Structure 1
Amino acid sequence: MAHAFIHRRVPGPDYLFDPSNEQVLAQLERGEIPWLNRDTPDATDIRCRNGGDVEAAFLDLFAATGIDFRLGAIRTFYSPGDDMIALSDWRGCDPADHLRDWIHELIHATGHPSRLDRELPLVFGSIGHGVEDLIAEMAAASVCASLGIAPSLRHPDSVERWIDLLRADDRIFGHAVRAAGAAAAYLFARHDAQAAASDRMEAEAAAAEREEAALAAASRRRKRREERERWASGLVTGFGPRESLPAVRHGDPTWQSPISSSF
């Protein structure tokens, strides 16, 4: 069955939130992160408020992308060349933080040429790298909120670089918002398509089972009817058609036993 997320208001390509560039700059300079202050759920662990398992919901979302991953890496990162997410050892850490890191790298993976084809710069600290990190932070916050995980800033050291970027070009923030919305929407669209395909396959399998059961029942009815017809024709018993067994035993087709005649 398709998984129903508890926070199902997923942004589209043109929506995450819509403050002005000046508002965002002012908040960042005060140490505030505007995209963490909108529709943030009150989840404090990795359990949905309706009892669902957030980790299972995320794994459903991740599986629908078909992106490869490797556990036990020295650090968590996404490799565009291998199209693979490497995850550091999560044992002993906060499970929600592990999922937040995974989601952040998953957003980077949506920029692969086979998906949304964003520019994925390889040089750390470059302008392009700063923009991509801004996209990943905003989209990851949206995905976390939709899953029921309280979002948090994954790369606080990037804030100063974002401030410099937004001061240099006020178009960068609008671009990042649209790209982040597209990345989040892409993940949920893939999940919904996968869930719909799974539901369709289950429905087809159930219909095939019902058809098979109906054919088997029809076959049994046909065999019983054929058996009755063979008995009635005398092919099985050797008796005349409609000739009862007691009558044949007594040599009298009209014979009835005393028990049957008393009723």
Structure 2
Amino acid sequence: MSDSQNKNASLTNKSSSTKSLEKAQKNPISSKTKVKKSKTKKQVVDIYQMVTDKIIHALDNGVKPWACPWDRTQEFGQLPLNFKTKNHYSGINILLLWSETVEHGYSSPYWLTFNQAKEMGGNVIKGNKSTQLVFYKPWERENPEGETEIIPMLKPFNVFNLDQIEGIEKPVIKPSLELVNEFGFIDNVDAENIINGTGITIHHSGNKAFYRPSTDEITMPPKALFHHSDNYYSTILHEISHATGHQKRLDRSMAGRFGSSDYAFEELIAELGSAFSCAELGIFGNGETQHACYIASWLKKLNEDKKFIFKAAASAAKAHRWIFKVEDQNDKEVKKVA
């Protein structure tokens, strides 16, 4: 090859490199960015699967992870809460924290993130592992109609029970003697106020507890038939959780016959809704024992759909907020017009 040919080839290579650089500057999306997006998507799927696996493991071992683990005679509120902010955890996070409490035998209802523990002058005891919780972070996107939609994106974060942290003075938990000495049926004033505040028609007759959607009425056995008042209140809160699904309230689908998957899903919502409400009221009732077919249906759906428990917990949290007349902030900005 001659000197002139070498020179021309060199100019051609430089020209190609310049064009490639200009093209890259106009279209800066690299293969690394695509890989990062793929990893983020996989992480979300893993979070759903992690939570679902925990619930399946608990049910397989005969434990309902939505059963509050605290002794009813304790004076503290039974919903798990953040020790620094004093805010209660909600939805699926309640199930995760209750499940961890049972598995590890924690005595405290309080939790902190690693940074919160440091800010309060404490530190995590060496060798202790965190519990992973989730929260929804708003993500905006434009739909085909030109409107801006707010999509909730699932994100993980980690917390430690106060039993796992040193350097922070723990609250002294004392039994409530009033509760310890209670026997038989004793009216729970707070629970009665919440129940009456729903405005739902409740009849006391017969020996079965049920909600009839067609008439929007609850039937309960007389209070005298219950061995303990907590069992009465946990049962009626279960039925009230059903009633929140009526079309004039939260308008949930109430379709499905006994034994069907739809019916079992509604039963799970009522189970969770009652558990959340009982925990807030300090009620440690046993409620009605669920039929074996419900457990089988729940396990089947959990294995088929990793978002199943999230859907049920979200609906139960809405029912709980409706019962306690707490405004649902999450529904305020589900969608906004640009």
- Name the TM-score, length of structure 2 as normaliser: 0.46
**In structure 1, what residue type is equivalent to 2:278?**
C
User: Which one-letter code corresponds to 2:216 in the other structure?
Assistant: D
Q: Which of 255, 259, 271 is matched with 1:121 structurally?
A: 255
1:24 alignment counterpart: 55
Aligned-residue offset at 1:37: 4.3
Asked if 1:65 is matched to 2:198, the reply is yes
Q: Alpha-carbon deviations, 1:197-252, whole Å to 9, x = none?
A: xxxxxxxxxxxxxxxxxxxxxxxxxxxxxxxxxxxxxxxxxxxxxxxxxxxxxxxx
In the alignment, what sits opposite 2:230?
96
Question: What CA deviation, in whole Å up to 9, does each residue of 1:70-127 have, x standing for no partner?
Answer: 1113411001111110012332422221111111001000111111111112511111
Alignment match of 1:34 (pick from 51, 57, 65): 65
**CA–CA distance in structure 2, aligned partners of residues 92 and 171 of structure 1:** 39
Q: Please tell me whether the aligned partners of residues 78 and 85 of structure 1 are also in contact (alpha carbons under 8 angstroms).
A: yes
Kept in 2, the 8 Å contact 1:108–1:136? The answer is yes
Q: Which runs of 5+ in 1 are unaligned?
A: 1-17, 192-263
1:166 to 278, 282, 302: 302
- Number of residues paired by the alignment? 170
What percent of counterpart residues are identical? 26
- What is the TM-score of this pair, normalised by structure 1? 0.58
The CA distance in 2 between the partners of 1:70 and 1:36, in whole Å, is 27
The Cα shift of 1:54 comes to 6.0
Q: Please, which of 195, 210, 213 is the counterpart of residue 80 of structure 1?
A: 213
CA–CA distance in structure 2, aligned partners of residues 23 and 153 of structure 1: 23
Task: Classify the secondary structure of the residue corresponding to 2:188.
Answer: helix
Q: Which has the larger radius of gyration?
A: 1
- Amino acid aligned to 1:28: L
RMSD of aligned Cα (Å): 2.6
Name stretches of at least 5 consecutive residues in structure 2 with no aligned partner: 1-47, 75-174, 180-185, 328-338
Task: Select the structure that is richer in strand.
Answer: 2
Instruction: Indicate whether 1:106 and 2:137 are aligned.
Output: no
Match of 2:324 in 1: 188
Q: What is the DSSP-based 3-state SS (H/G/I as helix, E as strand, rest coil) of the residue aligned with 2:204? A: strand
1:172 positional shift: 1.3
Q: Which moved more, 1:86-95 or 1:141-150?
A: 86-95
CA contact (8 A) 1:68 1:85 kept: yes
Normalized per residue, the structure richer in helix is 1
Cα 1:190–1:86, aligned 2, differ >3 Å: closer, same or farther? farther
Q: How does 1:218-237 map to 2 (within 5 A)?
A: none
